[in-house]
Structure 1
Amino acid sequence: MRAWCNDLAIGVRLAVGGGRTSLARFLLSTFGVATAVAVLLLAASVQPTLQARDDRSTAASPDSNPADGITPLAYRSTSTNFHGRNIAVRYVYAPDATSPVPPGMDAVPAEGSMWVSGDLATLLAEPGSGLLRDRFPARVAGVLGQEGVPDPHDLVAYVGAGPDLVGGSLTTPVYAFGTFEQVRYLDPTLLLLILLGIVALLVPVFIFLAASTRIAGAERDRRLSALRLVGAGDRQVRRIAAAESLVSAVAGLVVGVGLYQVGRSVAPGVVLAGISVYPSDIVPVWWLAALVVLAVPVLAVLTAQFALRRTIIEPLGVVRFSKPVNRKPAWRFAVIGFGVVLLLWHGGGARAGSEVWSYSVAAGATLLLAGVPILLPLVIERAVARLRGGPTSWQLAIRRLQLDSGTSARVVGGVAIVLAGAIAVQSVLVAQADRFADSPSEVSTTAGQSPHMQVYPEADAIQRSIDLLDGVPGVRGAFPSESVTFELEETGMTYGLNVLDCAVVTEVYRVPDCGGGQVYAVGGADFPELFTSGRTLRLMDVAPGGEYRPRAAWTIPEIRRVARPAESGTSLYGLFLTAGGTLPDPLPTTSRTTVDVVLDPTDPDALDRAYAALAPLGWKVHSNEFDPYYYGSRLVEEQSFLTIRRGLLIGAVFILLLAGISLLVLALEHIRERRRPLAVLAASGVPTGALARSLLWQIAVPIALGVLIAIGTGIALAALVLRLGNDPLYVDWPSVGLMTLAAAVLGLLVSVVTLPFLRGATRLTSLRTE
Structure 2
Amino acid sequence: MTLLDRKETLVRPPEPPSRTASWLRDLGLGIRFAAGGGREGWIRTLLTAVGVGLGVALLLLAASVPHMLDERSARDHARSETKISESPDAQAKKSDSTVLRIEASTEYHDRTITGFLMRADGSHPVIPPGIDSLPAGGEMAVSPALGKLLDAPGNELLRERLPYKVTGTIADAGLRSPGELWFYAGSDTLTQATGGHRIAGYGKPGPADPLPPLLIVLIIIICVVLLAPVAIFIATAVRFGGDRRDRRLAALRLVGTDIRMTRRIAAGEALFGSVLGLLIGLAVFLTGRQFIGYVEVWDVSAFPADLAPDTRLCVLIALAVPLTAVLVTLVAMRSVVIEPLGVVRNSRSRKRRLWWRLLLPVAGLAVFGLTGKVQEYGPVNPYPVAGGAVLVLVGLALLLPWLVEAGVGRLRGGPVPWQLAARRLQLSSGAASRAVSGVTVAVAGAVALQMLFAAMNDDFNKITGQDPSRAQFYAASEIVRGDAALHSIKEFRATKGVTQVIGTVEAYATKPGKYSEDEIQPTTSFTVGDCATLREIARITSCRNGDTFVAHPTDKGQADWVDQTARKGKVLEFDAYGAGKPLHWTLPADSRTVAARTDPYGEERSGILVTPGAIDARGLPGAQTISQIRIDEDVPDAAEYVRNTAARIDPGMRLVTLNSVERDRQYASIQTGLQVGATAILLLIGASMLVSQLEQLRERKRLLSVLVAFGTRRATLGWSVLWQTAIPVVISIAVAVAGGLALGATLCWMVGKSVSGWWLFLPMAGAGAALILLVTLLSLPALWRMMRPDGLRSE
Query: Normalization by structure 1: what TM-score?
Result: 0.84
Do residues 714 (structure 1) and 740 (structure 2) align?
yes
Equivalent residue number for residue 226 of structure 1: 251
Q: Which of the numbers 283, 288, 298 marks the counterpart of 2:323?
A: 298
- What are the residue-to-residue correspondences of 1:521-600 with 2, within 5 Å? 528=555, 530-531=557-558, 536-538=563-565, 544=577, 557-559=593-595, 561=597, 564=600, 571=601, 573-576=603-606, 579-580=609-610, 592-596=623-627
SS at match of 1:536: helix
Do residues 423 (structure 1) and 451 (structure 2) align?
no
Equivalent residue number for residue 124 of structure 1: 150
Corresponding letter in the other structure for 2:476: V
SS at match of 2:114: strand
Verify the 8 A CA contact 2:539 2:594 in the aligned structure 1: no
For the residues of structure 2 that align with 1:363 and 1:498, how far apart are their CA atoms? 60
TM-superposition CA deviations, 1:588-644 (whole Å, max 9, x none)? 97754225376774765676566656767766x52333699xx9xx97x61222222
Verify the 8 A CA contact 2:575 2:622 in the aligned structure 1: yes
Equivalent residue number for residue 14 of structure 1: 33
Corresponding letter in the other structure for 2:34: A
SS at match of 2:115: strand
SS at match of 1:109: coil
Superposition deviation, residue 32 in structure 1: 0.9
Corresponding letter in the other structure for 2:345: R
Do residues 278 (structure 1) and 303 (structure 2) align?
yes
Verify the 8 A CA contact 1:339 1:363 in the aligned structure 2: yes
Do residues 82 (structure 1) and 113 (structure 2) align?
no
Larger Rg: 2
Superposition deviation, residue 204 in structure 1: 1.0
Do residues 454 (structure 1) and 475 (structure 2) align?
yes
**Could you say if the C-alpha distance between residues 324 and 220 of structure 1 is closer, same or farther in structure 2, counting changes exceeding 3 Å?**
farther
For the residues of structure 1 that align with 2:226 and 2:423, how far apart are their CA atoms? 34
For the residues of structure 1 that align with 2:347 and 2:554, how far apart are their CA atoms? 77
Equivalent residue number for residue 463 of structure 1: 483
Equivalent residue number for residue 364 of structure 1: 388
Corresponding letter in the other structure for 1:502: D
SS at match of 1:224: helix
Corresponding letter in the other structure for 2:433: A
Corresponding letter in the other structure for 1:557: T
Corresponding letter in the other structure for 1:105: I
Equivalent residue number for residue 457 of structure 2: 433
For the residues of structure 2 that align with 1:730 and 1:314, how far apart are their CA atoms? 56
**Could you say if the C-alpha distance between residues 607 and 183 of structure 1 is closer, same or farther in structure 2, counting changes exceeding 3 Å?**
same
Equivalent residue number for residue 12 of structure 2: none
Verify the 8 A CA contact 2:551 2:593 in the aligned structure 1: no
- What are the residue-to-residue correspondences of 1:367-516 with 2, within 5 Å? 367-437=391-461, 453-458=474-479, 461=481, 463-464=483-484, 466-467=486-487, 473-474=494-495, 480-484=504-508, 497=525, 499-502=527-530, 505=533, 513=541, 515=543, 516=547
For the residues of structure 2 that align with 1:493 and 1:336, how far apart are their CA atoms? 66
Superposition deviation, residue 282 in structure 1: 1.8
Q: Which of the numbers 30, 51, 56 marks the counterpart of 1:37?
A: 56
Please tell me the root mean square deviation across aligned C-alpha atoms, in Å.
Answer: 4.3
- Structure 2, unmatched stretches of 5+, are 1-19, 85-91, 512-518, 567-572
Equivalent residue number for residue 9 of structure 2: none
Equivalent residue number for residue 308 of structure 1: 333
**Could you say if the C-alpha distance between residues 517 and 468 of structure 1 is closer, same or farther in structure 2, counting changes exceeding 3 Å?**
closer
Verify the 8 A CA contact 1:91 1:161 in the aligned structure 2: yes
- What are the residue-to-residue correspondences of 1:678-757 with 2, within 5 Å? 678-679=704-705, 689-731=715-757, 733=759, 735-757=760-782
SS at match of 1:142: strand
Do residues 337 (structure 1) and 355 (structure 2) align?
no
Verify the 8 A CA contact 1:517 1:582 in the aligned structure 2: no
Verify the 8 A CA contact 1:249 1:297 in the aligned structure 2: yes
Equivalent residue number for residue 225 of structure 2: 200
Moved more, 691-700 or 377-386: 691-700
TM-superposition CA deviations, 1:386-421 (whole Å, max 9, x none)? 444444544444444444432221122111222212
Q: Which of the numbers 61, 71, 92 marks the counterpart of 1:52?
A: 71
- Structure 1, unmatched stretches of 5+, are 565-570
Superposition deviation, residue 84 in structure 1: 3.4
SS at match of 2:105: strand
Q: Which of the numbers 118, 131, 146 marks the counterpart of 1:92?
A: 118
Superposition deviation, residue 60 in structure 1: 0.6
Equivalent residue number for residue 169 of structure 2: 143
**Could you say if the C-alpha distance between residues 219 and 426 of structure 1 is closer, same or farther in structure 2, counting changes exceeding 3 Å?**
same
**Could you say if the C-alpha distance between residues 695 and 615 of structure 1 is closer, same or farther in structure 2, counting changes exceeding 3 Å?**
closer
Q: Which of the numbers 655, 659, 673 marks the counterpart of 1:624?
A: 655
TM-superposition CA deviations, 1:560-603 (whole Å, max 9, x none)? 54684xxxxxx453335673389997999775422537677476
Aligned length: 743
For the residues of structure 2 that align with 1:111 and 1:232, how far apart are their CA atoms? 84
For the residues of structure 2 that align with 1:221 and 1:494, how far apart are their CA atoms? 91
**Could you say if the C-alpha distance between residues 681 and 166 of structure 1 is closer, same or farther in structure 2, counting changes exceeding 3 Å?**
closer
**Could you say if the C-alpha distance between residues 153 and 751 of structure 1 is closer, same or farther in structure 2, counting changes exceeding 3 Å?**
closer
**Could you say if the C-alpha distance between residues 508 and 677 of structure 1 is closer, same or farther in structure 2, counting changes exceeding 3 Å?**
same
Do residues 28 (structure 1) and 47 (structure 2) align?
yes
Do residues 263 (structure 1) and 311 (structure 2) align?
no
SS at match of 2:483: helix
Do residues 666 (structure 1) and 692 (structure 2) align?
yes
For the residues of structure 2 that align with 1:238 and 1:220, how far apart are their CA atoms? 11
Corresponding letter in the other structure for 1:344: G
Verify the 8 A CA contact 2:79 2:129 in the aligned structure 1: yes
TM-superposition CA deviations, 1:308-329 (whole Å, max 9, x none)? 2343433333342645633222
Equivalent residue number for residue 241 of structure 1: 266
